[in-house]
Amino acid sequence: MGRKVLVRETKRAALTRMEDAARTIDDFRKVIAHWDHLDSNSERRERYNEVIRQNEIMLNWDTVSTSSDKGAIKPVMNVVIPSPIRYHWWKMIMTGDFLDTIHDCPHELGEFMEDAAFSQMLNNLTENQKEIMYYSVIRQFSNMHIAQIRGQTDRNIRKTFALIIKRLREKLAAHIRQREEDGYLITPIQHEFLAAYDETDIDTDDDE
C-alpha cells in the first residue's frame, strides 16, 4: 500500500511540475492531453463499478414498438445469461450496497428509481401492473415467460404493458412540462421525449 501511495504522489508531483513549467501553446496542449488521459482512466474505472440499468425506460421511445405488433417489446440488450460476477447485483453487494437486492420485488418497483416523481408514478400502479413492469423491465422476461408466470396469454401481457407505458408517458409528459413552466432545467433526453411524445400525439389525432 505504501508503494502505491508513493507512486501516486510522485506522478502528482510530476504533473504539478509540468503545469508550472508550461510556457508555450504546445506545453499547455501536453498538460491538457495528460489531464484528458487521467480523466479517461477515471471514467473507465467508474464505468466498471456503476450500475447499468434502464432507469429511464419511460423516456426511451423505442421500448414499445409503434408497428403492427401494437406494443411488442424490443430487446434492450442482447444478453441471454449475464455473467454472474459482472452482474450489477454482485458488484453492488461486493461494494457493500444491498439496496437493489433488498428491493428486488415487483411491489417495491418505485424504489429502483432515483427521481421522486418517477418513483411515485410507479408506486401508484396496481399490484398487477407493477408485476408486469417488473418482469418486463427489470428482469427483461419475454411476454410468453410472463404469461406463463401469471397464467395469462402473451397477447394480454403485451397489450397491458403497452397500456401501462402509454399512461406513464402521459403523466411523465405533464410532469416535465410543469417543471419547465416552473423554470427548472430539463435534460436533453427529456427534450427528446417531449418532442417524440408531441409528434406521436399529432399522428394519433390525424389518424382519428
Where exactly are the structural domains of the chain? 2-49, 84-207
In which region does residue 165 sit, left (phi positive, over 0), alpha (psi from -120 to 50) or beta (all else)?
A: alpha
The Cα 110–Cα 131 span in angstroms is: 12
Question: In this predicted structure, what is the pLDDT of residue 164?
Answer: 92
Question: In this predicted structure, what is the pLDDT of residue 161?
Answer: 92
Q: What is the pTM for the complete model shown?
A: 0.52
Question: In this predicted structure, what is the pLDDT of residue 135?
Answer: 87
Place of cell 480523466: 39
In which region does residue 125 sit, left (phi positive, over 0), alpha (psi from -120 to 50) or beta (all else)?
A: beta
In sequence order, which residues have a C-beta less than 8 Å from that of residue 107 and are 6 or more positions away?
Answer: 127, 130, 131
Question: In this predicted structure, what is the pLDDT of residue 74?
Answer: 45
The Cα 47–Cα 207 span in angstroms is: 44
Question: In this predicted structure, what is the pLDDT of residue 48?
Answer: 60
- pLDDT, averaged per 10 consecutive residues of the chain (208 residues), comes to 76 86 88 86 68 48 44 44 59 71 78 80 90 85 90 92 91 89 86 84 54
